[in-house]
Structure 1
Amino acid sequence: MDRNQLDGLLALKLVAEKRNFTAAAKELGVSPPAISKMIKQLEQRLGTTLLTRTARSTSPTEAGEAFLSQAAPALEHILTAMKEVGSLGGKPTGKLRLNVPTMIYPNYLKKIIASFTKKYPDVSVEVCLENAATDIFARGFDAGIRVSDILAKDLVAIKLFGPIRFVVVGSPKYLDKMGRPKHPKELLSHNCIRVGVGERIYGNWEFESRGKALRVEVKGSLIMNDSILALDAAIDGTGLLYITEDAVSDKLNSGKLEVVLNQFAPTSSGYYLYFPQRSQVHPKLRVFIEHLKSFPIE
């Protein structure tokens, strides 16, 4: 396909959507006569009329509707790419949608986002707190944060911090009453606080024993979809909780919680910001990545 054909296709799509040559011309950055010429050339190549033009309105013909029904999805991708590339040198604006684990926000991301929105006031940041591993890009998110172990290979991943350890913690009150487990299998006789909702409840706690992975499907009387509230429940003595060590370091130092099964604690390389390769062209995401890299980790 040569450039003239592509221009004609884009011109046809825009005129059909906007029902107006002037509006379509403005979208493509050309004059209305130029739009008209593009479409006429396309009609000549196809040997059929694609638009019905009157003094009051413009609309696709039956042939035009049939053609656009098949070509529109591909054309939409082309227009989106043109807008994104065209905005690379512009000022970052719009909404940046992030999907992150609950405990990441207060312990790591809160200060970063506060400084980012101050530096880039034209970018609003929407933060969705969620622990489950789902296809966040199908739901319209620009980027997410997860541990390295669950990231797909076709994504771009930038390390934020790590390595991190996953530990089982409980309050001294609970452990004094129920005992301190010596092996992960002993968790089956403990009240374990699970995090999640519906089919996404995380009840398979992972451990390492002599270099081999070990999983225990725990049970308990409390399931919560909020890690922070689950942590509060563990501090109150409700049961044991599986969580990253960095998220509870202050509670461990203060004596509100203590680690059990420490010798079985597994390690991950760390937390990563991840996004599709194509998303790097978005100015709002590009400057957020730059800001993350320049922000000191405490």
Structure 2
Amino acid sequence: MLPDNLSHLAAFAAVARHSSFRKAGAELGLSTSAVSYAIRNLEERLGVNLFNRTTRSVALTDAGQRLAERLQPVLHDLGDALEEMNHFRSSASGTLRINTSRAASYMLLMPLAARFLAAYPGIHLEIGEDDSFVDIVGSGFDAGVRLLEAVPEDMVAVPIGPKLRAAVVASPAYLQGRSVPLHPNDLMQHECVRYRFPSGRYYKWEFEKDGVAVEVDVSGRIALSDVHAEVRAAVDGIGIGSVPESYVNGLLETGRLVRMLDDWCPVIPGFMLYYPKQRRVSSALRAFIDLARLEAAAAGV
């Protein structure tokens, strides 16, 4: 017995994946009450309970587990069939929602946005900037962009940008009368501009040279949560900052900032675009990934 509307089955599959009506609704773009209605309607039509519900948890019954196992390949094949229709369109379309850190937005997404929107006039792009950890499924995003170390284990991660490197910098005014750090531990004798994560944790500066890794929990009287503000603090002579080098290349060229510990700053993997393993890659998301990779290749990455 199939429901008149296959969306009821899609709602069931989403709740089964997330064990949550709210997260299922976020994935499907529906309210929690709409998802609950779909499940209740499906259960009434089948004549069995598919979930055991409490105020704190949602779990599949034996019947629900069996249906989920049988339904997964069916919905997968159905999704493949619908996705094939994209090949008959002249261009990808839809709304693409990406959650990202502010640094990734500045360095990667915004430079791509203009070219992406020009290439795909049928796509609407929404970029949510948030430096704290975000459940992209529960928050209604199609994908996220973070450094590899911040990507959840249950996600597919796709490299879409160039490799990154930090720059340890200070203004000539700050360095006047002070010794230039020659080893990362020398930073403990200096005022440093600290970065504070939304969680309240402070970033520990990471260095590596000749296979030797050093982590320094720097000290300083100012802590910021925005890279642009860190750069400004360094330019104003407040202290030494550690920021992505793309933020300060121009300031280094003009001499407003001086770089140090250059041989201790390794190249690290760039930003990753990630999405749930169970979720099909939409035509809009695929188009974005392809363009990002093309841009990276053109830049010789």
TM-score range, shorter chain: 0.5 to 0.7
Shift of 1:198: 4.0
Deviation at 1:214, TM superposition (A): 0.8
For residues 59 and 101 of structure 1, do their structure 2 counterparts lie closer, same or farther at Cα, with a shift above 3 Å needed? closer
Give the aligned residue type for 1:188: M
Query: In structure 1, what is the Cα distance between the partners aligned to 2:124 and 2:204?
Result: 36
Residues 281 and 197 of structure 1: CA distance in aligned 2, closer, same or farther (over 3 Å): closer
Work out whether 1:142 is the aligned partner of 2:142: yes
Structure 1 residue aligned with 2:206: 206
Secondary structure, counterpart of 1:263 in structure 2: helix
Deviation at 1:152, TM superposition (A): 5.4
1:86 to 62, 82, 86: 82
Deviation at 1:207, TM superposition (A): 0.7
Q: CA deviation at 1:83?
A: 5.2
What displacement does 1:164 show? 2.6
Post-superposition shift, 1:190? 2.3
Q: 1:28-43 counterparts in 2 under 5 A?
A: none
- Does 1:297 find its partner at 2:299? yes
For 1:129-159, what per-residue CA distance to the aligned partner results, in whole angstroms no more than 9, with x for missing partners? 3445665445443223333455456543333
Residue of structure 2 in register with 1:106 after alignment: 106
Query: Residues of 1 paired with 2:186 and 2:248: CA distance?
Result: 22
2:234 maps to which residue? 234
Q: Which moved more, 1:116-125 or 1:80-89?
A: 80-89
Do the aligned partners of residues 60 and 156 (structure 1) sit closer, same or farther apart at CA in structure 2, a change above 3 Å counting?
Answer: closer
Asked if 1:64 corresponds to 2:47, the answer is: yes
- Indicate how the Cα distance of structure 1 residues 86 and 197 shifts in structure 2: closer, same or farther if over 3 A, else same: same
Output the CA distance in 2 between the equivalents of 1:224 and 1:129: 17
Cα offset for 1:204?
0.9
Whose Rg is larger? 1
Q: What corresponds to 1:116 in structure 2?
A: 116
Q: Are 2:224 and 2:230, in contact at CA under 8 Å, matched by a contact in 1?
A: yes
In the alignment, structure 2 segments of 5+ residues that lack a partner are 11-40, 53-60
Is 1:287 paired with 2:269? no
TM-superposed CA distance for 1:61, in Å, is 5.1
Question: Are 1:183 and 2:183 matched, yes or no?
Answer: yes
Q: Which amino acid aligns with 2:299?
A: I
AA matched with 1:164: L
Task: Give the drift of 1:216.
Answer: 0.7
Of all paired residues, the percent bearing the same amino acid is: 28
Distance 2:50 2:157 in 1: 39
- Show the counterpart of 1:3: none
Please state if 1:157 is matched with 2:153.
no
The verdict on how the C-alpha distance between 1:120 and 1:14 changes in structure 2, with shifts beyond 3 A counting, is closer
TM-score, normalised relative to structure 1: 0.68
Secondary structure, aligned partner of 1:272 = strand
Question: Which amino acid in the other structure matches residue 103 of structure 1?
Answer: A
Q: Which amino acid aligns with 1:94?
A: G
Shift of 1:285: 0.5
TM-score of the two chains, using structure 2 as the length reference: 0.67
| Cα distance in 1, alignment partners of residues 253 and 175 from structure 2 | 17
Report the aligned-residue RMSD: 3.8
Residue identity in the other structure for 2:268: S
Instruction: Mark the runs of 5 or more structure 1 residues left unpaired by the alignment.
Output: 1-7, 18-57
In 2: Cα distance, 1:202 partner to 1:76 partner: 46
